[in-house]
Structure 1
Amino acid sequence: MAGNSSSGMTRRALLGAFAATTITAAPTFSNAAGFLRGGGDIRRIRMYSGRTGERIDMIYWIEGKYIKDAVKEVNYFMRDWRTDGVKSIDLRTVDIMAAAHNLLDVNEPYMLLSGYRSPKTNAMLRSRSRGVAKNSLHMRGQAADLRLSSRSVGQMAKAAAACRGGGVGRYSGSNFVHMDCGQVRTWGG
């Protein structure tokens, strides 16, 4: 991102605005260009939850550093809303989500259907559906199920798969895409 952004603010001004923000030196995956294609110098995540009514729209990473307070907010937002259980979300998953969103070139936030799932919630969902894995990456904070009204499941899955950062599941019948930071693989239709 060089020069002016659409809001007329330069990157230097934006970085200056965040100078007071605590920035951690959490492990970065900036060298893994394959799944960060489209990530940029500044990474932003936009989501809302139909279950809780909550929304987030934030920059969570600037030039190689995760913003500690933003990461905490993402962890809380992606909690198991059924139990209110919070787990640290694997930042590789958030990076895949952000990069796929950039590749889709949309302003619409993701609708988060499922982020972290407690073992209790996963067992309950598994008892209701064959499509829920016994050892789901959701229980490790490494997966998200997402929807966009302005893009098809196919378009979302293609963008996520282009990142080559993990698993991408197409759930056309339920109108969502699963993204995770596990093995690179695809499934569904």
Structure 2
Amino acid sequence: MTGKSTSGMTRRSVLGAFAATAVAAAPSFANAAGFLRGAGDIRRIKMYSGRTGERIDMIYWIEGNYIKDAVSELNYFMRDWRTDGVKSMDLRTVDIMAASHNLLDVSEPYMLLSGYRSPQTNAMLRSRSGGVAKNSLHMRGQAADLRLASRSVNQMARAAIACNGGGVGRYSGSNFVHMDCGQVRNWGG
């Protein structure tokens, strides 16, 4: 993650979110903007899958470096559980997820509904719902659908939007938030 990506996500915006949450768990990014840059020496992700029963609670980044074994475990955890297909997840998405979680000031792990999706799974889901994109970022390992029991869809979405790192979709009817590292945008209600 260096400089500015084509998605509009900057290293500075994600580091800013980590800096804010490393010093104090801020309820909004506006309150966090004044904190020192450069904090956030450790990045952690906590999730469970209701589909597989698996759980992770891991540090995946320390002092500017992703931990290879942790990233491999994370890729497996976020696999397409329907096909068992594994793809390298775009770590920008994981960074957005972790920074958003920190901004929410919760200890509860995310429930992962969908990480990587194989083209077959995406086509099957698309045939059942108009809300599934034909060229979904899930198929590139660049998106995740997440839920927290202790926070509303709107609270989760606001935290993800504050990271200014990619797409954020609110799916209030299904009680989840989509986070991706694509173009900065948001949708849903």
For Structure 1 versus Structure 2, the TM-score category normalised by the shorter chain is 0.7 to 0.9
Contact between 2:2 and 2:11, CA under 8 Å: does it hold in 1?
no
Structure 1 segments of 4+ aligned residues over 6 angstroms from their partners: none
Contact between 1:79 and 1:86, CA under 8 Å: does it hold in 2?
yes
Secondary structure of the corresponding residue to residue 177 of structure 1: strand
Secondary structure of the corresponding residue to residue 37 of structure 1: helix
CA distance in 1, matches of 2:11, 2:135: 26
Secondary structure of the corresponding residue to residue 38 of structure 1: helix
Number of the residue aligned with 1:145: 145
Alignment of 1:175 with 2:154, yes or no, is no
Max radius of gyration: which structure?
Answer: 1
CA distance in 2, matches of 1:134, 1:142: 14
Structure 1 residue 92 displacement after superposition: 0.1
Contact between 2:42 and 2:63, CA under 8 Å: does it hold in 1?
yes
Q: 1:150 to 1:143 in 2, by over 3 A?
A: same
CA distance in 1, matches of 2:11, 2:139: 24
Number of the residue aligned with 2:109: 109
Q: Normalising to structure 1: TM-score of the pair?
A: 0.84
Contact between 1:36 and 1:96, CA under 8 Å: does it hold in 2?
no
Number of the residue aligned with 2:12: 33
Number of the residue aligned with 1:129: 129
Structure 1 residue 34 displacement after superposition: 1.0
Q: Which has the higher contact order (CA 8 A, sep 6+)?
A: 2
Contact between 1:28 and 1:64, CA under 8 Å: does it hold in 2?
no
Aligned 1:83-98 pairs, distance under 5 A: 83-98=83-98
Identity of aligned residues (%): 84
Contact between 2:42 and 2:62, CA under 8 Å: does it hold in 1?
yes
User: Per-residue displacement from partner, 1:51-103 (whole Å, max 9, x unpaired)?
Assistant: 00000000000010000000000000000000000000000000000000000
Partner amino acid for 1:33? Answer: R
CA distance in 2, matches of 1:51, 1:104: 24
Secondary structure of the corresponding residue to residue 87 of structure 1: coil
Number of the residue aligned with 1:80: 80
CA distance in 2, matches of 1:46, 1:168: 19
Cα RMSD after superposing both structures = 1.3
User: Per-residue displacement from partner, 1:9-64 (whole Å, max 9, x unpaired)?
Assistant: xxxxxxxxxxxxxxxxxx56796121333321100000000000000000000010
Secondary structure of the corresponding residue to residue 66 of structure 2: strand
Partner amino acid for 1:80? Answer: D
Q: Which consecutive unaligned segments of at least 5 residues does structure 2 have?
A: 5-9, 19-39
Partner amino acid for 1:93? Answer: T
- The worse-fitting range, judged by mean Cα deviation, of 111-120 and 37-46 is 37-46
Secondary structure of the corresponding residue to residue 130 of structure 2: coil
Number of the residue aligned with 2:53: 53
CA distance in 1, matches of 2:68, 2:48: 20
